[in-house]
Amino acid sequence: DTEVTQTPKHLVMGMTNKKSLKCEQHMGHRAMYWYKQKAKKPPELMFVYSYEKLSINESVPSRFSPECPNSSLLNLHLHALQPEDSALYLCASSQDQTVGRETQYFGPGTRLLVL
């Protein structure tokens, strides 16, 4: 089973709202990722968690706050977002963080619209 699940599928939020995106995998993977993808563009890496610890933050604004409660779960907390943050947010996981050798498996994404 190579499934990564994400909830919700769609989310509409105002600029003053607080919301969270959730990602789950049960493949025993120890690395999990958040990506942001704009239409017709490739995914852009935001965060990497390795063994439940944040290992990479790609200079993402603090209005995005990741959290890894356990090895299967990854959250992305959203607060005071801007309209330009509207995008598809993808979660991925891999066996380990050594990206060169590891295959990343992606979830279906959460389509976020910020009004």
Partner 1 sequence: AQSVTQPDIHITVSEGASLELRCNYSYGATPYLFWYVQSPGQGLQLLLKYFSGDTLVQGIKGFEAEFKRSQSSFNLRKPSVHWSDAAEYFCAVGDSNDYKLSFGAGTTVTVRA
The footprint of partner 1 (CB under 8 A) covers 2, 4, 6, 40-43, 45, 48, 55-56, 88, 90, 92, 97-109, 111
| Separation of alpha carbons 31 and 92, rounded Å | 8
| Separation of alpha carbons 71 and 23, rounded Å | 11
Nearer to partner 1, 67 or 102 (CB): 102
Nearer to partner 1, 64 or 89 (CB): 89
Nearer to partner 1, 18 or 38 (CB): 38
Neighbours of 6 (CB within 10 A): 20
What letter would DSSP give residue 104? P
Shortest spacing between CB 59 and partner 1, in angstroms: 13
| Separation of alpha carbons 3 and 25, rounded Å | 6
Contact between 74 and 30 (Cβ < 8 Å): no
Shortest spacing between CB 53 and partner 1, in angstroms: 14
Shortest spacing between CB 5 and partner 1, in angstroms: 10
